[in-house]
Amino acid sequence: MSTVDAAAPGGTDTDPGAAAARKPVSMAQAINRALRDAMAADPAVHVMGEDVGALGGVFRVTDGLVREFGEDRCTDTPLAEAGILGTAVGMAMYGLRPVVEMQFDAFAYPSFEQLISHVARMRNRTRGALPMPVTIRVPYGGGIGGVEHHSDSSEAYYAATPGLHVVTPATVADAYGLLRAAVASDDPVVFLEPKRLYWAKEEWSPEAPEEVPGIGRAVVRRRGGSATLITYGPSLPVCLAAAEAAREEGRHLEVVDLRSLVPFDEETVAASVRRTGRAVVVHESAGFGGPGGEIAARVTERCFHFLEAPVLRVAGFDIPYPPPMLERHHLPGVERVLDAVARLQWESGWTMSGDGGGDGGTEGGEGGGK
Partner 1 sequence: MTVLEQPGAYRLAPPPGWRPRLDPAPLLPDAEPFRLLGTDADLDPETLTRLYRELVRGRRYNEQATALTKQGRLAVYPSSAGQEAAQVAAGLVLAERDWLFPSYRDTLSAVARGLDPVEVLSLLRGDWHSGYDPRATRVAPLCTPLATHLPHAVGLAHAARLKGEDVVALALVGDGGTSEGDFHEALNFAAVWHAPVVFLVQNNGFAISVPLAKQTAAPSLAHKAVGYGMPGRLVDGNDAAAMHRALGDAVAHARRGGGPTLVEAVTYRIEAHTNADDATRYRTDDEVRAWREHDPLALLERELRSRGLLDDAGAEEAARDAEELAAGMRDRMNQDPELRPMDLFADVYAEPTAQLDAQAAQLRAELDAEAQAAAESDTESQAEARGEGGAR
In angstroms, the CA 47 to CA 67 distance is: 13
The DSSP bridge partners found for residue 256 are 220, 230
Task: Note whether 165 binds partner 1 by CB under 8 A.
Answer: yes
Task: Note whether 319 binds partner 1 by CB under 8 A.
Answer: no
Task: Note whether 227 binds partner 1 by CB under 8 A.
Answer: no
Q: Is 16 exposed, middle or buried (0-12, 13-18, 19+ CB in 10 A)?
A: exposed
Site for partner 1 in 276-315 (CB under 8 A): none
Contact 56, 62 (CB under 8 A): yes
Q: Cβ closer to partner 1: 239 or 256? A: 256
Task: Note whether 161 binds partner 1 by CB under 8 A.
Answer: no
Task: Note whether 135 binds partner 1 by CB under 8 A.
Answer: no
| Cα separations in angstroms, 178 against 50, 90, 102, 181, 260 | 23, 24, 18, 5, 9
Candidates 74-82, 203-211, 230-238, 340-348 — which segment interacts with partner 1 by CB under 8 A?
74-82
The DSSP bridge partners found for residue 325 are none
Task: Give, as one character, the DSSP assignment of residue 121.
Answer: T
Cβ of residue 224: shortest distance to partner 1, in angstroms?
25
Task: Note whether 223 binds partner 1 by CB under 8 A.
Answer: no
State the catalytic residues: 150
Phi, psi of 139 (to 5 degrees): -65, 125
Task: Note whether 216 binds partner 1 by CB under 8 A.
Answer: yes
In angstroms, the CA 324 to CA 255 distance is: 28
Cβ of residue 261: shortest distance to partner 1, in angstroms?
11
Task: Note whether 180 binds partner 1 by CB under 8 A.
Answer: no
Q: Cβ closer to partner 1: 188 or 224? A: 188
Task: Annotate each residue in 80-99 with x if it binds partner 1 (CB under 8 A) or - if it does not, as one string.
Answer: x-xx-xxxxxxxxxxxx-x-
Q: Are strands 189-194 and 135-140 parallel, antiparallel or unpaired?
A: parallel
Task: Note whether 20 binds partner 1 by CB under 8 A.
Answer: no
Cis before 263? omega within 30? yes
| List 51, 60, 63, 131, residue binding partner 1 (CB under 8 A) | 131
| List 75, 151, 228, 272, residue binding partner 1 (CB under 8 A) | 75
Task: Give, as one character, the DSSP assignment of residue 240.
Answer: H
In angstroms, the CA 202 to CA 64 distance is: 22
Contact 351, 368 (CB under 8 A): yes
Candidates 30-38, 107-115, 170-178, 361-369 — which segment interacts with partner 1 by CB under 8 A?
107-115
Site for partner 1 in 23-62 (CB under 8 A): 46
Task: Note whether 210 binds partner 1 by CB under 8 A.
Answer: no
Task: Annotate each residue in 244-273 with x if it binds partner 1 (CB under 8 A) or - if it does not, as one string.
Answer: ------------------xxx-xx------
Q: Cβ closer to partner 1: 189 or 352? A: 189
Cβ of residue 87: shortest distance to partner 1, in angstroms?
3
In angstroms, the CA 136 to CA 113 distance is: 14
> Residue 23, Cβ neighbours under 10 Å: how many?
11
The identity of residue 370, as a single letter, is K
Q: Cβ closer to partner 1: 10 or 83? A: 83
| List 1, 54, 67, 126, residue binding partner 1 (CB under 8 A) | 126
Q: Are strands 23-26 and 201-204 parallel, antiparallel or unpaired?
A: antiparallel
The alpha carbon of 175 is separated from its chain's Cα centroid by a whole number of angstroms, namely: 9
DSSP string for residues in 222-239: E--SSEEEEE-GGGHHHH
By CB under 8 A, name the binding residues for partner 1.
Answer: 46, 71-72, 75, 77-78, 80, 82-83, 85-96, 98, 110, 113-114, 117-118, 121-131, 162-163, 165, 185-187, 216, 262-264, 266-267
